[in-house]
Structure 1
Amino acid sequence: MLAATLVAALSGCGGGSGGGGAALALPMPAASQGEGATPDTPPTAAANRTLVIDLDGATYGAVQSGIAAGTLPNLAKLEVRLAYSGGMAGTPSQQPTLDTPGWATLLTGAWASRHQVMSEAPKQALHAPSVFQMARQKNTGLNGAAVASAGLAQLLSSDHDSGYLDSLTDCSRGATASDCVTTQAVQLIGGDYATVLAQYRATKDAALDFGLGSAQYAGTLTQLDKAVGALVAATAKRQNDRWLIVVTGNHGLSANSQDDGLPLVPESSTFIGLNQAANIAAQGVGAAVPAKLADLYAYASIADVTPTVLGYLGALPDAKISVMEGGPLVGAQPVSQLTASVANNNSADTNVVLNWVAPSAGAITVLRDGQVIASKLPAGTTSYTDNQLSQVLSAKGTYQLSYTVQAGDGAAAASKATLSPPVSYVPPVPLAPTLKNGLVSYYPFSATLPPVDAMAHSTMGPAANDLPAAAGLVVPGPFAGSSGLLVDTNFVNTNGFEGYRLTPATGFDIATGTAPQFTIGLWFKTPSCVATNNVTIIANKSYVSGGNAGVAIGLFASSGNQCGVAFNIGSGGGVRADGPTSPYTQITVNRWVYIAFSVDGVAKTMNMYVFDPVTSTTNRVAVGKSTGSVDLSKLSPFPQWGIGDDGTGTFLMNKCNGTVTPPYFAGKCATAPTYQHHFGDLAMWNRVLTDAELQSIFLSNRPLSTLPLN
């Protein structure tokens, strides 16, 4: 039976450079408790047991050199591989490459963004579950630690006080801290403890006092190698037990032997030695230290130590509750190099993109904050985009989300977690429900042609029945998963017809009447700007002259990656009103923008708005602009609207003012070049929309079809 009561006694080993503290002896098996205990007492039953040895200040380079020189024979018996500390620079996992944050990561399998130990400040506490706490929850057996640093003893004190750590020995007093750690750790190994931590700091002191290249440093590392040998020998005496031994150096030091905590390659480079084959084969064993931090992250990390220990003990927490950002190095292989980035931040469409390197086997499961969001992704999957955040985020704000990626299922499962960078969520602005009022024609566009008016008040199709099919194609629309219409004037018939036309049913032409009031709104994209002259976007007039009767929105040549847009109305005989033309309103090529144009025949004014959703800017091109002397009763000269053309359907041929006649082919009239236009969510109202209604269209970034239209 194991003793249930705490037995504390001052130990003769103490001192060192770390400050005060007494050695504390806690529960041991009854047969071995006390001064006369023999370390090699036979265990009561065979079991998996773990020994973690932390050699603070032992750098990867020094260990590799010592192994090559034959001065570290005990470390040479382990599989020593390159590893990194300090998290990934520039991500939420980044932490200072210092002892205390490193200890916290070794103890929790997480980085400082979770364990909250960010510095060498005294009296810090772990804010993530420790290896001892997680092991105790699975009833793996006794947990013990012997440490040479007072700071680590203090960090472990809450685990001791909570009963997760059964034995804690602070060896920081006196000049024989290393001997004290070895003596106490050997006693724990022989005392039926399942998890043993032994921490040394003599190499760290030697590096700071004398430098990494000094004889004192090399000699100290040689002495600690002997300590490692003593601990390994103690495990060998328990012949019926299966020991996993993990040795690490916590973090590296600067090139000039300083402990500066910087996110640089020397400070971030360390090692992990195992006495068993790793699930990543020989990756990192004998590897050269890379020149760039990004390349260092391809290797194991000190965050892998705790999940490696827990995996060996069969005590890994379920992926739904695990916050460990490391993964086990023995047993089932997890993903590696897991990162999270944010796309479309500061919007309702913000999403998190996960990337990782996948093991060769095992289906992939992705969790967000403990909830499965994707399962049974094929083995080998290396990325996932979480674009469903609007389902779980409701209020405007900045959030940080925890993601876990699991490879495999059941006993063959292994997982890693990561925190996202800050996610700034802006709830979508709802479409104004009044947008249903006065809606005469609406084309949401779909995967089929011809397009269908959701209000059933008009028809749309090619300007002529014999136009090639390529004159109008279905393309991706302005919203995720939506469709749009591509009108391509490179495809014409011999009579010069091109583009599409919208034909209102009798009584549903918004431009008719003595004082018409209407709004035309559409999402529009041009893959490239016209090189010269101007072409039509939508018009019900002959647009070879703005003085002709009718309405037009046109596209004008511009420079750079921009294109100009303007509107025009006329009543014939050269009477016209335009806006603005000096300069034209600029839109970005190959980007969806929303264009809204309205005429108020009662107030005799015009408005035009252009909204760019990428920059979230609204350009009020014209507000309350006078219609001048235009006779507003003459704004509907043709019974159809040209979509990507004018009301004639033969805009490009007409640009040559009669000098080019059928039989026609694309480009025969070179006054204006052929062009391609993309249209999405085109609507016509028999009233002037308010600024607030238009803003709701712009900012919601949602199609009108999401409103109940009937």
Structure 2
Amino acid sequence: MAWKQQARMACSLALAGVVAACGGGSDAPATAAPDQGGSGGATPGAAGKKILLVGVDGATYSQLQNALIQHGMPNLATLAITPSSTGGRLGTISEQAPLDAPSWATVLTGNWQDRHGVTDDQAAAAGLKAPSLFQYLRAANTGATRQRLGAATGAAALPLLLKADAAAGNLDSLRDCAYDDNCVTQEGVKLVQSGYDVVFAQYTAPDLAAASQGFNGGAYATALSGFDQALGKLLAAVQARRQANPGEDWLVAVTASHGLDATGATTTLPTVENRTAFIALNKPFNALAGNLPAAPANAAALSAMPSEADLLPTLLAHSGTALPAAQYKIDGAALTGEAGARAMSSVVGQFSNTLVLSWQNPTAASGPMTLLRDGVVIESALPAGTTSYEDTKLNPPDSGLYRYNYTLVRNGVPVSLQAQINYVKPIVLADTLRNNLAAYYSFETLPALDAKGTTTIGPWVAGTDGGSLGTDNFGAKSLKVNSNIDAYVLKQSGADIALSPQFTIGFWFKSDCTQGNGTGEPILSNKNYVSGANAGIAFGLFGSCEVRFNIGSGGKRDDIQGMTFSANQWAYLALSVNATAKTFSAYIIDPVLGVQKTENKAIANTDVTKLGGLATGQWGINDDATHAYVPNNGGSLKGVMEFNDLAMWTRQLSLSELQTITGSRQPLSTLNP
């Protein structure tokens, strides 16, 4: 984000007049000069469908609402507006950081980072890996019907994202205004007046104001007002075109890249604030949007709203650009006209060899639905009310990671999803897993029973039971621990496994990741885990479904970080320690992401004689060993974690043994341990 920091420094003195020039200036040359024929000039496509797409950085939805309520944005108020989500679907391959470049890539391509490839702001330099709005429109309009397409952008990410379009001739004009919003307005108005068919104008002043002074002090309100005035000039130019050319049908769409946190900062945390944007149109929304004026209160509410990926198909639909279903690879769905399906998602099936698709049907269907996989129809007549489908006919040649593009056509409207699976062909559960097994829970009943009889698991406080039985990945039962009620505790009655010369702890784990934030939350821990400053062991859940494996205390600690799992999917977690050799290993085997591992990492800092934690023989489940992690650690969250087949061995397990656990489709109980 170096370019943004430089721009903020350069513009900090100009925020009192925030729409004043802060960058390249209005004299910077455009990539291609627009036609100077004037507002009444007859140009190719001038009498047809036209688009004005306006983007703004930093217009976070809650602040936007306040400005609208106070009548501070009269031009935006003339449009229909809804909050929208960005950042993809949490805990899936589509999840992306709520940063400028990935977010604008989504607006331009209708896809998330798993398709467009822009994972962060630095990745903008590599360009887009998915077709853009301008590429789609250029391919659909050639020869005598060739449309003229132009853009004027403020943020540094946009010229990088659009450079390939400019080089390929998909853009007739690309003006880099380098954080000068006056330049964006002047160029945008000129393009509209010149008869361009598609005009993209992108602003930055609210973001610069928020980064410099937050939401207080007046600069941010001035920036929002300045943006609204600029929007008014663009809308006036459109109105003048319509009056001079009655046959022109303009779609005006306004959107933001992403939200900001409570201080006005851009961060990578996938919070509701950061992932809430907005979409405004000069035409009525269809049933995919509905009447949604309020800001989302939580992640579930946000996921039910339109997304930034819906903008591109909305613009294509208005332009009359229809893509064949067999070629459709766009994650969003049009927000105008006929409504198809929405919120398409996938999870891996019970045995990691099928994909289960689900979606919502916001309106009645005119007939059966069609489902395609990688452009080939796999179901031609799904009943109109169907909301899920299990694809049981994948049959790839071997175990491994595979991606498939699914397209669902409902009411003639396609919507696509890229689904990934770590496909596992059935293998045999290793009989060696019986060896040195010290504790094992299959969680088929409550109270939970240790098959080896060396430990007990139950509520911390008698009569306050946060545990319940769920459904595991074998069609049997699992343990669900809701720390909103109370966490669980594992008590060892024999020798402390954490003081064995070698040991392995492994279990199936599932979470929606809502507890994962920058503070973290213990999954399983025998220590006082506040700030990780006390001796012992902890599995910790952090933001974006990251698991951190922590041993030791304070400056005498060793960590394995950066491994993630898929939200709401069963993943296998394992930690293996060799105290004699002073090495440790961590594994996550995920049905979507595959195997992640760090093996035989040197224990460089930890005193291995103190891995027993609080020396009570107790492990917190969805808590640390103090039973007070949340009150002791501000910012941490309570919630539900789900466990299955929890086992402890007094030896190190190999990766191949662990892979038989995930690949056999059988619980350890089938070995009668």
TM bracket, shorter-chain basis: 0.5 to 0.7
Pick one of 236, 242, 254 that aligns with 2:261: 254
1: CA distance, partners of 2:71 / 2:21 = 31
Q: Is the Cα contact below 8 Å between 1:251 and 1:267 reproduced in 2?
A: yes
Map of 1:145 onto structure 2: 151
| 1:78–1:25 CA distance, 2 compared to 1 (3 A) | same
2: CA distance, partners of 1:154 / 1:255 = 29
Map of 1:369 onto structure 2: 374
Pair 1:400-2:427 in alignment: no
Q: Is the Cα contact below 8 Å between 2:25 and 2:177 reproduced in 1?
A: no
Q: Residue by residue, what CA displacement relative to the aligned partner does 1:642-683 show, whole Å, maximum 9, x if unpaired?
A: xxxxxxxxxxxxxxxxxxxxxxxxxxxxxxxxxxxxxxxxxx
Map of 1:691 onto structure 2: none
Q: Is the Cα contact below 8 Å between 2:61 and 2:295 reproduced in 1?
A: no
Pick one of 277, 286, 295 that aligns with 2:301: 295
2: CA distance, partners of 1:272 / 1:242 = 19
Map of 1:216 onto structure 2: 219
Pair 1:132-2:134 in alignment: yes
Pair 1:307-2:313 in alignment: yes
| 1:286–1:18 CA distance, 2 compared to 1 (3 A) | farther
2: CA distance, partners of 1:152 / 1:274 = 22
Map of 1:425 onto structure 2: 424
1: CA distance, partners of 2:665 / 2:250 = 60
| 1:352–1:217 CA distance, 2 compared to 1 (3 A) | same
Query: What secondary structure does 2:326 align onto?
Result: coil
Query: What secondary structure does 1:110 align onto?
Result: coil
2: CA distance, partners of 1:590 / 1:426 = 18
1:200-239 equivalences in 2 (<5 Å): 200-239=203-242
2: CA distance, partners of 1:214 / 1:101 = 30
Map of 2:345 onto structure 1: 339
1: CA distance, partners of 2:159 / 2:130 = 17
Q: Which runs of 5+ in 2 are unaligned?
A: 1-18, 429-443, 452-473, 477-569, 572-659, 667-673
Map of 1:283 onto structure 2: 290
Query: What secondary structure does 2:327 align onto?
Result: coil
| 1:273–1:329 CA distance, 2 compared to 1 (3 A) | same
1: CA distance, partners of 2:112 / 2:288 = 25
Query: What secondary structure does 1:193 align onto?
Result: coil
| 1:20–1:196 CA distance, 2 compared to 1 (3 A) | closer
Letter in 1 for 2:240: K
Map of 1:169 onto structure 2: 175
2: CA distance, partners of 1:186 / 1:145 = 11
1: CA distance, partners of 2:29 / 2:152 = 8
Q: Is the Cα contact below 8 Å between 1:83 and 1:284 reproduced in 2?
A: no
| 1:371–1:211 CA distance, 2 compared to 1 (3 A) | same
Pair 1:64-2:70 in alignment: no
| 1:38–1:699 CA distance, 2 compared to 1 (3 A) | closer
1:287-686 equivalences in 2 (<5 Å): 287-290=294-297, 292-346=298-352, 350-362=353-365, 363-390=368-395, 393-408=396-411, 413-426=412-425
Q: Residue by residue, what CA displacement relative to the aligned partner does 1:49-69 show, whole Å, maximum 9, x if unpaired?
A: 111100111111122111111
Give TM-score, length-normalised by structure 1: 0.55
Q: Is the Cα contact below 8 Å between 2:148 and 2:197 reproduced in 1?
A: yes
Map of 1:659 onto structure 2: none
Map of 1:185 onto structure 2: 188
The 10-residue stretch of structure 1 (317-326 or 296-305) with the greater mean CA deviation from structure 2: 317-326
Query: What secondary structure does 1:324 align onto?
Result: coil
Map of 1:91 onto structure 2: 92
Query: What secondary structure does 2:380 align onto?
Result: strand
Alpha-carbon distance, 1:289 to partner: 2.2
1: CA distance, partners of 2:42 / 2:70 = 36
Q: Residue by residue, what CA displacement relative to the aligned partner does 1:344-397 show, whole Å, maximum 9, x if unpaired?
A: 344xxx11111110132333221111211112212221111111112xx12222
Q: Is the Cα contact below 8 Å between 1:284 and 1:299 reproduced in 2?
A: no
Letter in 2 for 1:38: G
1: CA distance, partners of 2:665 / 2:386 = 33
| 1:379–1:214 CA distance, 2 compared to 1 (3 A) | farther
2: CA distance, partners of 1:400 / 1:53 = 33
Q: Is the Cα contact below 8 Å between 2:399 and 2:422 reproduced in 1?
A: no
1: CA distance, partners of 2:102 / 2:24 = 17
Alpha-carbon distance, 1:147 to partner: 0.5
Q: Is the Cα contact below 8 Å between 1:52 and 1:247 reproduced in 2?
A: yes
Letter in 1 for 2:82: R
Pair 1:16-2:22 in alignment: yes
Letter in 1 for 2:232: G
1: CA distance, partners of 2:356 / 2:185 = 46
Could you list the structure 1 runs, at least 4 aligned residues long, displaced by more than 6 angstroms after superposition.
Answer: 18-21, 559-562, 698-701
1: CA distance, partners of 2:240 / 2:283 = 18
Pair 1:46-2:47 in alignment: yes
Pair 1:105-2:112 in alignment: no
| 1:19–1:403 CA distance, 2 compared to 1 (3 A) | farther
Letter in 1 for 2:137: A
Alpha-carbon distance, 1:86 to partner: 0.7
Alpha-carbon distance, 1:700 to partner: 12
Map of 2:125 onto structure 1: 123
Q: Is the Cα contact below 8 Å between 1:21 and 1:170 reproduced in 2?
A: no
2: CA distance, partners of 1:357 / 1:225 = 35
> Higher helix proportion, which one?
2
Q: Is the Cα contact below 8 Å between 2:24 and 2:176 reproduced in 1?
A: no
Query: What secondary structure does 1:389 align onto?
Result: coil
| 1:319–1:18 CA distance, 2 compared to 1 (3 A) | farther
Letter in 2 for 1:123: A
1: CA distance, partners of 2:157 / 2:450 = 60
Query: What secondary structure does 2:274 align onto?
Result: helix
| 1:96–1:284 CA distance, 2 compared to 1 (3 A) | farther
Q: Residue by residue, what CA displacement relative to the aligned partner does 1:155-200 show, whole Å, maximum 9, x if unpaired?
A: 1111000111111001116xxx111111111111122222110000
2: CA distance, partners of 1:326 / 1:41 = 35
| 1:699–1:326 CA distance, 2 compared to 1 (3 A) | closer
Query: What secondary structure does 1:251 align onto?
Result: coil
| 1:226–1:400 CA distance, 2 compared to 1 (3 A) | same
Letter in 1 for 2:150: G
2: CA distance, partners of 1:242 / 1:341 = 41
Q: Is the Cα contact below 8 Å between 1:398 and 1:425 reproduced in 2?
A: no
Aligned length: 417
Q: Is the Cα contact below 8 Å between 2:151 and 2:201 reproduced in 1?
A: yes
Alpha-carbon distance, 1:39 to partner: 4.0
Letter in 2 for 1:417: S
1: CA distance, partners of 2:403 / 2:21 = 43
Map of 2:3 onto structure 1: none
> Superposition RMSD on alpha carbons, in Å?
3.3
Give TM-score, length-normalised by structure 2: 0.58
Q: Residue by residue, what CA displacement relative to the aligned partner does 1:125-156 show, whole Å, maximum 9, x if unpaired?
A: 10000010011111061111000122211211
2: CA distance, partners of 1:48 / 1:103 = 23
Map of 1:678 onto structure 2: none
Q: Is the Cα contact below 8 Å between 1:20 and 1:172 reproduced in 2?
A: no
Alpha-carbon distance, 1:246 to partner: 0.5
Query: What secondary structure does 2:221 align onto?
Result: helix
2: CA distance, partners of 1:158 / 1:21 = 23
Letter in 2 for 1:192: G
1: CA distance, partners of 2:419 / 2:130 = 17
Query: What secondary structure does 1:237 align onto?
Result: helix
